[in-house]
Structure 1
Amino acid sequence: MANLNITVEDKVAVVEFNRPHAMNSIDPEMRQELYAFYDRLKKDDAIHVAVFTGAGDKAFCTGADLKKTMPDPNDSYANQLLARGETGSAFFGLETDKPLICAVNGYALAGGTELVTICDICIASTNAKFGLSEVRRGSIPWGGSLQRLPRSISKSDAMLLLLTGDMVDAHEALRMGLCSKVVAPEELMPTALAIARRIASNAPLAVRAVKQLVTRGMDVPLPHALQMDKYMYGILKDTEDRVEGRKAFAEKRDPVWKMR
């Protein structure tokens, strides 16, 4: 049985963490399956959007399986980080211009919440729980949340989560800005998939340009970010897809995108 269930339909990939017996925690085998999917995601033009969720109704993802994830005594972290450029995070390599959505059912703890901070949109079920508990184990989040979280929610809310290790429920996560919507459990995947399909129906080059500009723009001064917008607008201005989008609108029909 695969640790990840991956299906692709209507240009949307659904990635389901499939270890419900272990609260969908990430063991070494699942980690390698995730890395393989990230590589596929970047190369496969049939995938325009990815949706992450968890099998069962108890957990989305609870981070690393501490019972199975043990450090290799023959592989130093210095070698891992400096020689191979790896961080040890299960989400290493998930940098992509394609939109990512989290459909959070149940517990999203440690790496589960880290994935939420990486994804572009988070939809939560009413039974969702979020938390970064690493400080309670003498460690720190190392999937990027220390830097991403204060950039996406208030510093006070970010520090509350990071320093206490406390869990928050779906409605508190909504207030903080960790998620965009809270829905009943039975509405979670239909809602997430409907959003993913609406995104996938849009001009793919424009969608990827928007994500790239927003992501990169957050790390540069506003005047520089605005300049990047101008350059990207010029790049897209004469593409076949932009001409097709305007033509389809005038003719009251669905556009046919060619990604050029």
Structure 2
Amino acid sequence: MGVDFIKENHVAYVTLNRPEAMNSLDPESVQRLAEIWSEVKKDNDIRVSVFTGTGEKSFCTGTDMKKTPPPEECMAAMWLRDGQPIIPDMKMWKPIICAINGYAIGGGLEMALACDMRIASSKAKFGFTEVKVASLAGLNGTQCLPRAIPQAVAMKMLLTGELIDAEEALRVGLISDIVEPAGLQELAKKYAEKIAANAPLSVKAAKQAVVMGLEMPLDQGIAFSHLLWGVLRDTEDRKEGFRAFAEKRSPQWKGK
């Protein structure tokens, strides 16, 4: 159906698989993505996800223009199925690593911006070209891009429709790592396994503290972080973490 989904060692691997169409999204892929993100959110065994595309040319170029609904239909409806958005839920609290293997354009970049970590192939390119076709990055691009990189750079991308390469994306902070194409999936798996090995409640709390805290004044964000620390203090996993450290063994997390 254009999207592959497997689970392994507490990690969900979500892969766009339409390389013949630059991993753009047709209605079937949209439907499948909505189902997958819903399952990731509900499955307690999943602690972290890796989101990527097939091949070395493109992560995702957004909507498949050849299969775009007619203008009289609401375009947002294609990106929303049964109340479930295909854009990863930034308040799901389970981290998502986006491994950008090529072009991330339009809706593809918007999906990447909804992820918590973005790493990229040296061949990756990023941009919002909607202004070239009388449209707008209307899902989250106009809001998330200037929150991820300097506003002036975001405005340049949104208003000119120009693409930036991986080196520029790293320089402005859009991504955290660049790697040669052959090593991208290995690096994503490495990061995912490191996250999955940590206490799941702590990982969720760390993400929640950052995402929610950025919506608050600093003093309120700090107070919210203190509250989350207090919630974690008496959990079984925190006690297990201290015991495991003292006994020089790997902890056995229960998520409690």
The 5 A counterparts of 1:163-242 are: 163-242=159-238
Match of 1:247 among 227, 243, 250: 243
Deviations 1:81-131 (A, max 9, x none): xxx9969x6417564100011111111111111122111101101111111
Q: Which residue of 2 aligns with 1:133?
A: 129
Query: Is the CA contact 1:98–1:208 (under 8 Å) kept in the aligned structure 2?
Result: yes
Relative distance call for 1:62 and 1:76 in structure 2 (3 A) is closer
1:97 maps to amino acid: W
Structure 2: distance between partners of 1:114 and 1:179: 13
Structure 2: distance between partners of 1:44 and 1:142: 29
SS of residue paired to 1:259? coil
Structure 2: distance between partners of 1:250 and 1:92: 38
Higher mean displacement: 168-177 or 140-149: 140-149
Off by >3 Å, runs of 4+ in structure 1: 75-78, 84-87, 92-95
Relative distance call for 1:169 and 1:186 in structure 2 (3 A) is same
Q: Which residue of 1 aligns with 2:18?
A: 19
Relative distance call for 1:162 and 1:76 in structure 2 (3 A) is closer
Relative distance call for 1:224 and 1:71 in structure 2 (3 A) is farther
Relative distance call for 1:207 and 1:55 in structure 2 (3 A) is same
Q: Which residue of 2 aligns with 1:54?
A: 53
2:25 maps to amino acid: I
Relative distance call for 1:204 and 1:159 in structure 2 (3 A) is same
| Superposed CA RMSD | 2.0
Query: Is the CA contact 2:91–2:211 (under 8 Å) kept in the aligned structure 1?
Result: no
Structure 1: distance between partners of 2:247 and 2:120: 38
Relative distance call for 1:77 and 1:110 in structure 2 (3 A) is closer
Relative distance call for 1:64 and 1:76 in structure 2 (3 A) is closer
Structure 1: distance between partners of 2:71 and 2:139: 19
Relative distance call for 1:188 and 1:160 in structure 2 (3 A) is same
Q: Which residue of 2 aligns with 1:28?
A: 27
SS of residue paired to 2:56? coil
Matched, 1:153 2:144: no
Query: Is the CA contact 2:88–2:111 (under 8 Å) kept in the aligned structure 1?
Result: no
Matched, 1:91 2:87: yes
Structure 2: distance between partners of 1:48 and 1:113: 23
Gapped regions of structure 1 (runs ≥ 5):
none
Q: Which residue of 1 aligns with 2:44?
A: 45
Relative distance call for 1:178 and 1:92 in structure 2 (3 A) is closer
The count of aligned residue pairs is 253
Relative distance call for 1:212 and 1:248 in structure 2 (3 A) is same
Shift of 1:143: 2.0
Query: Is the CA contact 1:116–1:178 (under 8 Å) kept in the aligned structure 2?
Result: no
Q: TM-score, normalised by structure 2?
A: 0.94
Relative distance call for 1:7 and 1:85 in structure 2 (3 A) is closer
Gapped regions of structure 2 (runs ≥ 5):
none
1:163 maps to amino acid: L
Shift of 1:205: 0.4
Relative distance call for 1:173 and 1:186 in structure 2 (3 A) is same
Q: Which residue of 1 aligns with 2:65?
A: 66
Structure 2: distance between partners of 1:77 and 1:10: 37
SS of residue paired to 2:67? coil
